[in-house]
């Protein structure tokens, strides 16, 4: 049984990535910018997500899909479709005068430094498989299709968009008002002060009192790669934030100062974890 790649309603590319491309084009019409930085791993993940069974007669779709993904023939079967998808993404963006810049990071050093960072060994089987195919698909790409950078930093202060499903990448751009995140599955565009939505939820608590930065990400975690720290510790930091009247724009210096004054032990824990981001 073969999987079908489901396309978007308006563009002939996989449906999650279609939303990214359409949002980027709409943003270009309102606020002129020249390029979009894209985590190559995110495009692979979206491609795999868009693969499914066309027939509704499959009783357990997720189980059957997992079998196919796990099978050795998967890469050979779908590599052409993936490459064609990627070429279409590039063509559509370039036709709209948006230059895509792809990057692919290695997070192994971060995983060794931060015990809360999930690796292929500690992820769910489905996520671990996706990680495997991120490496496989990157190996079939040549410079004629795209050039994958190891990392990318903008140094001139121009406005641009960033596409990633890994909140760790955002730490490199924290507090930069010229960078807007394009949500990797919905295409929603979020300025810096909306990045708090990347934190893992903590019951019914309003996470908008927390600014996004690597200092807090290390303990609050995110949906994909950093598991949340102990709930008692998170609640303690959250209460400090409420008492200090933090919000999504609160500076890193003020966050650190508040924690250092109110709970020196917690401050030292986060200070040590924050150093891990310098390893990627």
What pLDDT digit, counting tens, does each position of 90-135 carry?
999 999 999 999 998 888 888 888 888 888 888 888 888 888 888 7
Residues 131 and 68 in one domain: yes
User: What's the distance, CA 141 to chain centroid?
Assistant: 21
Instruction: Name every residue whose Cβ is closer than 8 Å to that of residue 201 and which is 6 or more positions away in sequence.
Output: 207
Residues 145 and 165 in one domain: yes
Q: Which domain holds residue 160?
A: 4-190
Residues 131 and 151 in one domain: yes
- Give the pTM: 0.91
Regions of the chain with pLDDT less than 50: 156
Which of 154, 169, 190 terminates a domain? The answer is: 190
Residues 155 and 210 in one domain: no
Residues 158 and 59 in one domain: yes
User: How many domains, in total, are found in the chain?
Assistant: 2
Which of 145, 167, 190 terminates a domain? The answer is: 190
Which of 190, 225, 248 terminates a domain? The answer is: 190
Residues 15 and 148 in one domain: yes
């Amino acid at each position: 049984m073969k999987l079908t790649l489901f396309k978007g309603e308006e563009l002939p590319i996989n449906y999650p990535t279609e939303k990214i491309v359409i949002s980027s084009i709409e943003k270009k019409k309102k606020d002129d910018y020249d390029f979009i930085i894209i985590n190559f791993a995110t495009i692979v993940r979206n491609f795999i997500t868009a693969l499914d069974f066309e027939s509704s007669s499959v009783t357990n779709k997720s189980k059957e899909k997992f079998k196919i993904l796990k099978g050795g023939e998967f890469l050979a079967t779908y590599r052409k479709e993936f490459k064609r998808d990627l070429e279409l993404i590039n063509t559509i963006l370039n036709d709209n005068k948006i230059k895509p810049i792809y990057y692919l990071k290695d997070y192994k050093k971060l995983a060794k430094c931060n015990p809360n960072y999930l690796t292929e060994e500690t992820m769910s089987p489905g996520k671990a498989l996706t990680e495997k195919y991120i490496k496989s698909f990157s190996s079939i790409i040549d410079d004629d299709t795209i050039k994958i950078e190891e990392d990318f930093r903008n140094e001139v202060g121009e406005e641009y968009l960033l596409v990633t499903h890994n909140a760790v990448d955002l730490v490199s751009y924290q507090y930069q008002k010229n960078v807007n995140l394009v949500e990797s599955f919905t295409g929603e565009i979020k300025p810096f002060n909306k990045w708090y939505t990347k934190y893992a939820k903590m019951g019914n608590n309003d996470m908008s009192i927390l600014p996004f930065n690597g200092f807090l990400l290390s303990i609050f975690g995110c949906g994909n790669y950093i598991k949340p720290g102990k709930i008692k510790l998170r609640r303690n930091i959250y209460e400090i934030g409420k008492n200090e009247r933090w919000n999504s724009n609160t500076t890193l210096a003020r966050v650190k100062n508040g924690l250092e004054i109110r709970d020196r032990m917690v401050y030292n824990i986060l200070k040590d974890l924050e150093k891990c981001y310098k390893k990627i």
